Chains A and B, each alone.
Chain A
Amino acid sequence: MIFFKKMIYFLKPLFSVVLGLGLGLVITKIAGEDPWNVLQILLKSAFGSRYDIGMTLFYSIPLVFTGLSVALAFQAKLFNIGAEGQLAMGSIAAAAFGIYFPNIPFPVAPILASICAFLVGAVWGAIPGWLRARRGSHEVINTIMLNFIASGLTSWMTLYLFRNLDSQNPETKAVGAGYWMPHLKIFGESPVSFSIFIALFAAFCVWFFLWKTALGYEIRAVGQNESAARTVGIDSAKIRILVMAVAGGLSGLVATNEILAHAGRFRLGFSPGYGFMGIAVALLGRNKPGGVVLAALLFGALHKGTSDLDLETENVTRDLSQILQALIILCVSAEGLWSFLLESSFGFKKKKKSEIRTL
């Protein structure tokens, strides 16, 4: 019985994904394409070659960071809508660090820049955390506001402090040569770098932190029932600030993928909304680190897969990616419905019996 329940638990998100994709393909049919063809293009574009797989991974890495950020905050019942601003602040910080100290040699330079990105992201996350814990103003509002502030602030810094005068694009000067993370050669020309290991390590750390440490237990307790946590002496205000700071730091680590491995500089608008996609990733991944990694891979693949649709089809464009994401999220949100259907169709009688036993 427990095995059965576990299976449903893992099958449900998968089911939502398949259903969401199916609905998406129906839409391509309505748009006048052959869904089968579209699906093939998607798969080929996402996984067709080493380079394609590399690009898929490259898009997935930032989603792992932002997904972890949202998921961690959610374990303490905090809604971190501010990953977008946090990753921007972390990235500009890493870039600025690289511009100010261009001569630091290789292994030290990216490490320091990553720490810098984490810390600045953490500050950006801790602000709404502090406001919530000490002043009671809701973190959803404050994180959204801080996204705008971060956007303005990074624009100003890019255009007025660190502007690359040799380029037409709104971007900063380049970081020093020692800052580049080694790329993974097996993925060809794609910019997948050592950052992928940082992302996986971060996922492991979040898991360990939440489920194996006393502090992680306190975070989950505050998220579950703040009043009970308070009664046994857990300081929920401190926990909230801490969680939001770590969440912000995780978002800030997006810099390892973008600044330190791909662009070597801060380019305005480099994020296609990684922070907001992180919310979807966390939702699909059930706010668990392992789930977040898998969900990030899926969304990365969707992002990469749809990028070739512009060229290869007549009637659908890469915007299909957003439609698919939205449909998957809708299906995930309707999960209550799936469990109801599954249980009423072939699990219900068994369940009743076991309940009698427990009572």
Chain B
Amino acid sequence: MTPSVEFRGLSKAFHGNMANTDLSFKVRKGSVHAIIGENGAGKSTAMKILYGIYQPDEGEIYIEGKLWGGRQKPWSSSSDAILHGIGMVHQHFMLGGPHTVLDNILLGAEQAHWGWRWLPKALRPIDRDEARQRLESLSEQYGLKVAWDALVENLSVGVHQRIEILKLLYRDAKILILDEPTAVLTQQETNELFDHLRKLCHRGKTILMITHKLKEVMSIADRVTVFRAGKIVGEREIHKTYVEDLASLMVGRKVSLKAESPPQVVLQEPVLQVQGLSVKDFKLQEVSLQVRRGEVVGIAGVEGNGQAELLQVLLHPLEYQNRMKGVIEVVGKNIEGLNTRQIRDLGMGVIPDDRLRDALLTDRPAQENYILGLHREKPFCQAGLILDRQVEELTDQAMEEYDIRPRSRLLKADRFSGGNQQKLVIAREFFRSPKLLVIAQPTRGVDVGAIEFIHKKIFRARSEGSGILLISSELDEILALSDRILVMYTGKIIFEFNRGEVTEQALGLAMGGEARS
């Protein structure tokens, strides 16, 4: 049987560094094919080439035996791709909130009433009735049920995903690319999604799924291709492989999924104490937690269950003053009525989850980023004046200590790779040796080498007596770093585990709101 998709020797470079090198693999028709790899392994790039967003530098792709694109026959865009039956669901869903489900699905593929053909295309009225009929039959066929007239913004992410898939089916996609489809889903929603995917395969659709969650690969995929540093390092049939095998392929060395934990430091006084924190119309309900010096407390949970909100309330309690209940103490001081700077000055460092949005001045040189938040602190600033020489020297020092590459303090922040950007932020937040560190998704979009480095730095901060609140949706990270794990679900903390008390599987279930050991 001709493969549904075939990559032959595909390469792609960005600004001289190779994102993909010589990719060759085949995808069987009617199968779920998983593409796994660490962040930055080149999975997304490869899929974006298939979808027509990027042009490859070398190599070809064949769709059902026919050349779809390559150096000889470059394809131009994603609308080309959809014409050829290739559809993609992006990690961040592309839906217009205030519009109905039906309109979202039709957008870009509207069909006109037959009677209005004589009008220019852009002016033809949309035939929603016919579209609705077609969608009804599609949804029956694949068991994807959605309320067509509901507004998208009122629906959950699980439903959004269903809409995205329906969007592709409506456009007759034969090959569906799903980029990290479960990143924002609960366990239950994930299971539902997998049921749908199986149905789709039975009816002849081919599914390419990018993920880095091995457990999910084992449960849904038929075959898996492993990426590392832009290359394919292995291919496996699912029934002939196991999780540890895939993990070591991904990372490139033997990995024990259990992390070595450095010796526990004697626990000292609490640096963060949250009691009965609820915020009205915000996801938090009755959250209580405590972080002491010398421990890492991990907050596990699927994204969107209140972690981001918790961070916001810790940083900007003034903005939630009127609808907030409960007490937050940072380093023994109630932070009610304090502004962000005062709270940070109590000894709190923050590494936000979205560094480009919340931590970096992307268009300014590294040295200006390094002093952000320290710009009124002693060696950098005296009597309101910024001391350039100190800034330069200390930035150079930090770049050396945290191995930030390239070592150029004048390079703009957005010219650094994700890992180096994150190291810069970490260097900055660690500078004051804060007593409390709130760290959210510290290794998101960070390359493998940097992940290890960052984890080491977090452990070092712990042994130097910082209390660390770690918010992460990566199970591995939570399990490796945390001395205690709190599971957050729909704005509540529903479980607490000590180090070693919980398996990855049980934690995964707990994150979906289920208790089982």
Contact = CB atoms under 8 A, between A and B. Distances in A.
A225 interface: yes
A232 B373 contact: yes
A218 B344 contact: no
Nearest to A353: B16
A7 interface: no
B375 A359 contact: no
B331 interface: no
Contacts of B361: 220-221, 224-225, 228
B16 A355 contact: yes
B406 A232 contact: no
Interface string A201-217: 00000000000111101
A358 B384 contact: no
A331 to B, nearest CB: 23
Contacts of B357: 225, 227-228
A138 interface: no
B340 A358 contact: no
Contact of B341 (A220, A224, A233): A233
B364 interface: yes
A227 to B, nearest CB: 5
B372 A358 contact: no
B381 interface: yes
A233 B432 CA distance: 15
B217 to A, nearest CB: 30
A359 B15 CA distance: 8
A350 interface: no
Nearest to A352: B16
Given A217-B375, A352-B16, A233 B358 contact: no
B358 A217 contact: no
A24 B16 CA distance: 43
A177 B225 CA distance: 88
Contacts of A358: 406, 408, 411, 415
Nearest to B364: A224
Interface in A213-260: 213-215, 217-218, 220-221, 224-225, 227-235
A224 B361 CA distance: 6
Contacts of A108: none
A357 interface: yes
A224 B384 contact: no
Given A230-B340, A358-B415, A221 B358 contact: no
B266 to A, nearest CB: 32
Interface in A331-359: 352, 355-359
A230 B315 CA distance: 9
Given A214-B376, A225-B361, A358-B415, A230 B386 contact: no
A235 B339 contact: yes
B37 interface: no
A335 to B, nearest CB: 16
A214 B406 CA distance: 27
Chain B interface, >50% SS class? loop
B386 A232 contact: no
Contact of B340 (A221, A232, A356): A232
A169 B29 CA distance: 87
Interface of A is mostly: helix
A215 B16 contact: no
B15 A233 contact: no
B386 A213 contact: yes
Interface string B113-137: 0000000000000000000000000
Contacts of A229: 372
Contacts of A220: 361, 364, 368
The residue among B363, B372, B388, B406 with the most chain A CB atoms within 10 A of its own CB is B372
Contact of B17 (A218, A221, A230, A359): A359
B343 interface: yes
Contacts of A228: 357-361, 372
A352 B417 CA distance: 17
Given A218-B375, A228-B360, A356 B15 contact: yes
A230 B408 contact: no
A359 to B, nearest CB: 5
Contacts of A212: 385-386, 388
B288 interface: no
A229 B341 CA distance: 11
B386 A233 contact: no
A208 to B, nearest CB: 9
B325 interface: no
Interface in B320-350: 339-344, 350
Interface residues of A, number: 25
Nearest to A208: B385
B316 interface: yes
B358 A231 contact: yes
B343 A233 contact: yes
B15 A355 contact: yes
A357 to B, nearest CB: 7
A173 B441 CA distance: 67
A357 B15 CA distance: 10
Contacts of A235: 339, 341
A235 B352 CA distance: 18
Chain A CB within 10 Å, residue with most, of B15, B343, B362: B15
A214 B372 contact: no
B408 A233 contact: no
A127 B411 CA distance: 38
Interface in B14-41: 15-17
Interface in B409-437: 411, 415, 417
B340 A233 contact: yes
Contacts of B411: 358
B209 interface: no
Contacts of A215: 384
Contacts of B339: 233, 235
A231 B352 contact: yes
Nearest to B381: A214
B163 interface: no
A15 B293 CA distance: 60
A220 B364 CA distance: 10
A217 B380 CA distance: 12
Contacts of B415: 358
B61 interface: no
B344 A233 contact: yes
Contacts of B372: 221, 228-229, 232
B371 interface: yes
B368 A217 contact: yes
A225 B385 CA distance: 21
Contact of B386 (A214, A225, A234): A214
Nearest to A215: B384
B315 A357 contact: no
Nearest to A355: B15
A289 B248 CA distance: 57
A213 B371 CA distance: 13
A311 B287 CA distance: 80
Interface in B377-400: 381, 384-386, 388
A8 to B, nearest CB: 16
A172 B343 CA distance: 54
A175 to B, nearest CB: 36
A231 B368 contact: no
A224 B364 CA distance: 8
B16 A217 contact: no
Nearest to A229: B372
Interface of A: 212-215, 217-218, 220-221, 224-225, 227-235, 352, 355-359
User: What 10 A-B pairs have minimum CB-CB distances, sorted nearest first?
Assistant: A232-B373, A233-B341, A356-B16, A233-B340, A224-B361, A231-B358, A359-B17, A358-B406, A355-B15, A217-B375
8 contacts: A212-B385, A218-B375, A220-B364, A224-B362, A231-B315, A232-B341, A358-B411, A359-B15
Given A217-B386, A227-B357, A359-B15, 6 more contacts: A212-B385, A213-B386, A221-B361, A224-B361, A228-B360, A358-B411
